[in-house]
Structure 1
Amino acid sequence: MTQAARLSPEALASLPPAVARPLYDRDAQAVGIVHFGIGAFHRAHQAWYTDAAMNLGDRDWAITGVSLRSPGVARQMNPQHGLYALAERSGEGTRLRVVGSVRNVLVASEEPESVIAAVASPTTRVVSLTVTEKGYCRGETGDLDFELAHSLSFYYFVAQGLLARRKAGLPGVTLLPCDNLADNGAKLERLMRQYLERHEPDLVAWFEANCTCPSTMIDRIVPATTDEDRAMVADALNGLDDQACVVTEPFSQWVIEDRFAGPRPGWEAVGAQLVHEVGPYETAKLRMLNGAHSLLAYCGLAAGHACVHEAIADPALRHLAIRLMREEAAPTITPAPGQDLAAYADALIDRFANPALDHRLIQIAMDGSQKIPQRWLETLAANARAGRQCPAILAGIKAWLHHLTGANGPVDDPLATRLTTLATRHPNPADTAKAIFTQNGPLDGTWLPTQHDLNTLKET
C-alpha cells in the first residue's frame, strides 16, 4: 500500500481554497520564541496566536519547539517542516487552518547543546513553557524538588542558555509560563531563582535584573487527537497526511500580564488580552472551568460516560457542574472590571456540550493530585471561611477517591503508587480522604476535611 504524502511547504499552494494558510514567507522569519513542551495544547494556542500575528505583519517570531524527552512530536512535525493543520470543530461544522509559526522541534534528550544554543540565540526574546503542572518539579511544600529538577528539566536548559547570553553580552528573555498554575509567573520566577541559587549562584542577580516571568491564563479545550481526526484532516487536505494536526473548539482566550523583558509578538492584535493583573481571570478559569472539568471527569467516568459532552448531557452531572461554578466557585472570586462570571458559567456549559469535540474524560482525569489543590481545594477553603458548604466539590472528591481504586482503569498520576495503595487500604472514602489529606499523607496540608466533609464522603 502506497504511503500518503505528508503535508509540506510545497503542498500549500495546492490546498483547497477553504483551507487557510500562512500569509507570510516562512523561510524569511527568524526564530524569536523557544517553547518547551510543544504538545497539542501549545499548537492550538500560543503557536496559533503567533501565526495569526505574523499573518498581520509581525516578523521574526518563528518558534523552535523543544520536547524534553520523547521524540514523538519531533517525528510528527519535522518531516512537515513544522507545518500542521488546526481544525476548529463545532455543531456548525469544521474550519481548517494550516499554521506555519513552528520552525522545527528539538529533542532535548538527544540534542541538548542545540536546545541551549536556541535559548542563547540573539534572535530569541521569549522562552515559553507548556510542561504541565508536574513539569515545574515542585515538592510538597511548593518549593523546587531538586531531585526532579535534574539535567533533563527545562531549568537546566534555560539556565545554560542564560549563562551563554550573559557571556555574549545579550539581553535577557521573557520566561512565559502557559500552564494551569495560579500565579504561574511568580511561581516560575521563584522556582527558577531556587534552581539558580543551587546550581548557578553567580547568575541570580543577572537573571533578576534582565529577565521577567509574566503570569498568563489560557483557555481552550484541546482533546487528544485521534486516528479519526487525522483521517478527517487528510480528507480536507486532498489526501495529505498530517501527523501533527490538532482539533479544538472555536473559543480561545489568552490573558497575559504586560511585563516583558524585551520585544514580543503583537498578540493583542489577534485576540490576546494584555492586562496589569491576571489573577481574577486565572482564578475563574481554575475554579470554574477546570474545577467543573475535573468534576465531570471523575463523576462522568463513574457514571459510565467517556467524553465531556456525554457527561454534561447527564442531568445529574449537569446540575453538579452548574452548582460548582455558580454557587461554589463564583462567590470566591473577585472579578476584574467587566468580567461577568455568570455569563462565563453559561458559556462554559455551552462549550462542554459541543458534540463535535470528543474531549475524553480519562484525559482530564490524569494527574489529579497536581490539579485538585487549585481546582477544588482552594474553593473549599474559601467557602469554609465564609461558613458555606460545597456539596458538588465533595461529590467530585468522592468520585476521585473511587477513581484511585482503579475502577476506571490504571491511574495516571505522579503520585499513583502512594494514592492507589491508600485507596485500596481504606475502602471507605472518608478514611481514604483522611489518609491522603491528613496524617502526613501525600497531600497533607492542601485540605483539612471537617467532620461534615467526612460524613458526606462516607459510603451510603
Structure 2
Amino acid sequence: MSTTPILQFGTSRFLQAHADLFLSEGEDALGRVTVVQSSGDAGRAARLAALAAPDGYEVRIEGIEHGQRVQRSQRVTSVARTLSTATDWDEICRIGAEAQIILSNTSEKGLVPMPSDGADRFDQSMSWPAKLTHLLQARHRQGGAPVQVMPTELIAQNGNALRARVLELANDASFAAWVASDVTFVNSLVDRIVSAPIEPAGAVAEPYALWAIQDCPGLITPVRHPAVKVVPDLGPIERRKLYILNLGHTWMISQWLTKGGADYVRELMAMPSWRAALESLYADEVLPVFAAAGDTLAAGYVTQTLDRFANPFLDHRLSDIAQNHAEKLQRRIGAFLDWGKTLGMQGRQPRLTAALG
C-alpha cells in the first residue's frame, strides 16, 4: 500500500470539518491523508470506513456569513485510508517513516501522561505524546528524514509543548539530537464550531473557520485556503479570540445570570436590546484597547463574532457557557482589564468592571 504525505492522528468531527475539509477544497494541497484512530475504539469502525469512502463524506456549513444566512453542503475527499493504532501499528510506522507532515487533534484524555509512557515498546495504553515518540523513533531508525509535526490541540504554543514532552520521553541521545535538529514542531491555533456529527462520518459546522500557523524556518504549508493563515506571531490572534469572542460570551453570562430570558446564545442575539448592548460594549470598552495596542484587525473580528453568536442553526446553551463562570471572569475579563491598564485605559470600561464584581 502506498504512503500519503500527511499522517493524521484523530478522527474527530472537528478535523473532518476543518483540516481535512481544507485539504479537499483548497489549492496546492500537499496531498491526501492517512487518518489514524489513536484511541483504538473498535466501536468506531463504521466511522473509519466512511471517512475513506470513494465519494468522500459530507460537511454541512450552516450559519451567518457577511450578515447573510448560508446553508451549503460539501464532499470531503482528502482521506485516502484509515488505520488504528490498536491493530495497524506496523503499517502506521511504515507510512510515518515517509510522511512529510504528522497532524494531530487528540482528546484532552489522550494528552494525559500514562504509566506505560516510559515503556521500551509501543503500548496502546500510552498517551498521544508517547505514541508519537515511538513513531518518531521508528522513523529515526529508518533513516531519519526531516518531518513536520503539526498539533492542533487547544493548548498555548502546542507545538512547543509537544516537542518538550517528546524530548522528555526520549531515552536515546542520538534520537533526541535528531528530534531537536530535524523534527519541526509547529505552533498553531484553530477555531471553528463543529456543532453536530453526521453518521457514520461527516459533520455540521459554522461558516467561520481559522487555522493560524506560526511561521518558522522550513515551514511546509499543507494547503492554500482562505481559512489557513501563516502568521509571524500567534499572540494577536490568541488575544482576539480570548478578549473578543470568549470575553463576549462571559459578559453575556454575567448579565444572563441575573436577567435570564433565554436558553441559547442565538436567542439573546435575536433580541434587539441584548444585541445592541453587546455591540455597544465592543465599541466602547473592547475595541479601544485593541486600537491602543495597534491591532487593526480587531474590528473585523468583532463583526465575525457577532455573526457567529447570531447563528440561527447553532444550539449553543448559555448554561454550558456558564460553567466555571468565576474562573472565566478572571481569565477573560479580569486579564483584559489588566491589559487595558498597561495601555492607559484604566477607568474607561465601567460595564466590564461591573461584570467582574
SS at match of 2:139: helix
2:50·2:201 contact (CA, 8 Å) conserved in 1?
no
Tell me the amino acid that sits aligned with residue 94 of structure 1: Q
Whole-angstrom distance in 1 between the partners of 2:318 and 2:42: 26
The superposition leaves residues 324-363 of structure 1 with CA deviations (integer Å, 9 ceiling, x where unpaired) of 6555655555899884212211221122112133344566
Equivalent residue, structure 2, for 1:404 = none
Higher relative contact order (CA 8 A, sep 6+): 2
Residues 343 and 157 of structure 1, relative CA distance in 2, 3 Å threshold: same
2:190 maps to amino acid: I
**Judging changes above 3 Å, is the alpha-carbon distance between structure 1 residues 358 and 126 closer, same or farther for their aligned structure 2 residues?**
same
**Is 1:358 equivalent to 2:315 in the alignment?**
yes
1:190 equivalenced with 2:179 (yes/no): no
TM-score for both structures, normalised by structure 2: 0.76
| Kept after mapping to 2: 8 A contact 1:116/1:157 | no
2:76 is the counterpart of 1:99: yes
- Distance in 1, matches of 2:145 and 2:180, equals 12
Residue equivalent to 1:156: 130
* 2:47 aligned partner: 76
Please tell me whether the aligned partners of residues 176 and 215 of structure 1 are also in contact (alpha carbons under 8 angstroms).
yes
C-alpha separation in 1, matches of 2:89 and 2:326: 34
- For 1:433, the equivalent position in structure 2 comes to none
* Residue in 1 that maps onto 2:121: none
Q: Deviations over 1:66-109 (max 9, x none)?
A: 3425455543241453532011113644211110112344444x
Equivalent residues in 2 for 1:251-400, closer than 5 Å: 251-259=208-216, 263-265=220-222, 267-269=223-225, 271-293=227-249, 296=252, 303=260, 305-314=262-271, 318=275, 321-322=278-279, 325-326=282-283, 330=287, 333=290, 339-361=296-318, 375-376=332-333, 378-383=335-340, 387=346, 391-392=351-352, 395=355
5+ residue gaps in structure 1? 1-26, 138-144, 231-241, 396-452
SS in 2 for 1:95: strand
From the superposition, tell whether residues 166 and 74 of structure 1 become closer, same or farther in structure 2 (CA, over 3 Å).
same
Given candidates 166, 190, 197, the residue that maps to 2:140 is: 166
Q: How many residues align?
A: 341
Structure 2 residue 179 is matched with structure 1 residue 222:
no
- Offset of 1:34 from its aligned partner? 2.2
Q: Distance in 2 between matches of 1:118 and 1:362?
A: 46
Residue 277 of structure 1 aligns to a residue whose secondary structure is coil
The CA distance in 1 between the partners of 2:6 and 2:292, in whole Å, is 32
**One-letter identity of the residue aligned with 1:125:** Q
Give the direction of change, closer, same or farther, for the CA distance of 1:92–1:102 in structure 2 (3 Å limit): same
Q: Secondary structure at the match of 2:201?
A: coil
Q: In 2 relative to 1, CA 86–152 (structure 1 residues): closer, same or farther, beyond 3 Å? A: same
Cα distance in 2 between the residues matched to 1:148 and 1:364: 35
SS of the residue 1:68 aligns to: coil
Q: Which amino acid aligns with 1:208?
A: A
Question: Normalising by structure 1, what TM-score?
Answer: 0.61
> 1:49 maps to which residue?
22
- Render the CA deviation track for 1:30-80: whole Å, top value 9, x for unaligned: 422222332121111111111123xx4645332323342545554324145
CA deviations 1:370-418 (Å, max 9, x no partner) are: 98876455425424656456754874xxxxxxxxxxxxxxxxxxxxxxx
Aligned counterparts of 2:32 and 2:203: Cα–Cα separation in 1: 21
The CA distance in 1 between the partners of 2:350 and 2:108, in whole Å, is: 25
User: Do the aligned partners of 2:246 and 2:332 also contact (CA within 8 Å) in 1?
Assistant: yes
Judging changes above 3 Å, is the alpha-carbon distance between structure 1 residues 41 and 80 closer, same or farther for their aligned structure 2 residues?
A: closer
Equivalent position to 1:65, from 36, 47, 57:
36
Query: Which letter does structure 1 place at the counterpart of 2:72?
Result: R
CA distance in structure 2 between the aligned counterparts of 1:258 and 1:33, rounded to whole angstroms: 19
Give 2:178's aligned amino acid.
W
Query: Aligned letter for 1:156?
Result: A
What is the aligned-residue identity percentage?
26
Distance 1:58 1:177, change over 3 A: closer
C-alpha contact 1:380 1:390 (8 A) present in aligned 2: no
Cα shift at 1:263: 4.5
1:292 and 1:177, CA in 2 relative to 1: closer, same or farther beyond 3 A?
farther
Amino acid at match of 1:245: G
Amino acid at match of 1:47: D
Distance 1:369 1:37 in 2: 32
Call closer, same or farther: CA 1:371–1:346 in 2, change over 3 Å.
Answer: same
Secondary structure of 1:76 counterpart: helix
Q: In 1, distance between residues paired with 2:34 and 2:326? A: 32
CA distance in 1, matches of 2:128, 2:158: 15
Secondary structure at the counterpart of residue 280 of structure 1: helix
What is the CA distance between 1:155 and its match in structure 2? Answer: 0.5
Measure the CA separation in 2 of the matches of 1:354 and 1:292: 15
Distance 1:207-1:248 versus aligned 2 partners, 3 A rule:
same
Q: Over aligned residues, Cα RMSD in angstroms?
A: 3.9
Per the alignment, do residues 391 and 355 of structure 1 end up closer, same or farther by CA in structure 2, a change over 3 Å counting?
Answer: same
Change (3 A) 1:334 1:172: farther
Q: Show structure 2 runs of 5+ residues with no match.
A: 119-124
CA distance in 2, matches of 1:394, 1:68: 45
Partner Cα distance (2:353, 2:165) in 1: 30
